[in-house]
Amino acid sequence: MLSPSPSERLKAKLDVIAERFDGGYIGTDPVKFVHRFRDPREQEIAGIIAAAFAYGSVVLIFRAVEKILGAMGPSPRAFLERFDATRDRALFRGFRHRFHDGKDVALFLSLLAQAIRKHDSLGALFAKGARPGDAHVGPALARFVAEILAGDPRPFFPSGKLPQRSPVRFLLSSPDDGSACKRMLLYLRWMIRPADGVDAGAWHGATTPAKLLIPLDTHTFRITRYLGLTARNQGDWRAAEEVTAALARLCPDDPVRYDFALCRLGILDLCPAKRDEKKCVPCDLYDVCRL
């Protein structure tokens, strides 16, 4: 009998951790906010808020998203349908998450509300920008973000023009800006992958999971380097393409299915930055790790 190839061994190991870190771990991830809702029209709104503010420590991320969704009430969709920027911006007075304040939240929600009124849903907007010939979701993401940012920013900016340095642009990153877009790629993973207890599958048919790109956060980038999936020194857009291409050779139809599990290894401090026999030897990836 032939011995398994290195790729077969790696896939087998990744399959093990993907099964291990399942929906029982969503409490450690901002995706938990998506699962508060069953209606895809609610999930897509909770999801884009959770993803947009998913920077900084987990504790601060959860606190920020809780404050925003709490102010929006039981139905994020209904809140945006009736959103009035002049009236409702006061609901977010005093909000602070790193370098974003209540004005940024209100402007962000105003732009989302306009996009929903124009396109009926964020999923429909994304689907309109997805082209069959696109190699991956990058071009569709750029079109999606551009359309949202094209909304009217008044009364926040009376000129009607959104400044290039407006902090809201950080919440809606685009590959056209040279960004790694890890938070937006995370959002797309939640929305596009079929519902599996972790991802929601809220945008069924918008595009295929095969076109998703892995959202490389600090943990995932470090671990994928250990696995030899990229040799790049920065977790940038090109690194995301490179890692996804490597994973696509293992799982062509769903290359980012391993993202949640790989990230858990870092978030739960199971994968150290430096070799630690107490943590490394018991790891399911020990035999294929290059650390």
Q: What percent of the chain has pLDDT over 90?
A: 93
193 with 201: CB under 8 angstroms? Answer: yes
Return the half-sphere exposure (C-beta side, CA atoms, 13 A cut-off) of residue 69. 27
Contacts of 291 (CB under 8 A, 6+ apart): 226, 275, 280
Res. 1: pLDDT tops 60: no
Q: What separation in angstroms does the CA of 60 have from each of 31, 50, 54?
A: 15, 12, 9
pLDDT score, position 207: 95
223 with 262: CB under 8 angstroms? Answer: yes
Digit-coded pLDDT (tens) for 218-231: 999 999 999 999 99
DSSP 129: H
Instruction: Please give the distance of CA 218 from its chain centroid, rounded to a whole number.
Output: 13
d(CA 52, CA 173): 9
Region at 194 (left for phi over 0; alpha for psi -120 to 50; beta for the rest): beta
* Mean pLDDT of all residues in 38-54: 98
pLDDT score, position 172: 97
Structure tokens belonging to residue 261: 């599990």
Digit-coded pLDDT (tens) for 132-156: 999 999 999 999 999 999 999 998 9
Digit-coded pLDDT (tens) for 18-30: 999 999 999 999 9
pLDDT score, position 274: 86
DSSP-assigned beta bridge partners for residue 97: 100
Instruction: Please give the distance of CA 202 from its chain centroid, rounded to a whole number.
Output: 14
Q: Give the number of other Cβ atoms within 10 Å of residue 170's Cβ.
A: 17
d(CA 16, CA 242): 23
Digit-coded pLDDT (tens) for 88-119: 999 999 999 999 999 999 999 999 999 999 99
Q: What separation in angstroms does the CA of 52 have from each of 45, 173, 217, 231, 284?
A: 11, 9, 13, 28, 31
Dihedral angle over CA of 67, 79, 128, 174, nearest 10: -30
Q: What separation in angstroms does the CA of 49 have from each of 33, 55, 105, 119?
A: 9, 12, 9, 18
Digit-coded pLDDT (tens) for 244-257: 999 999 999 999 99
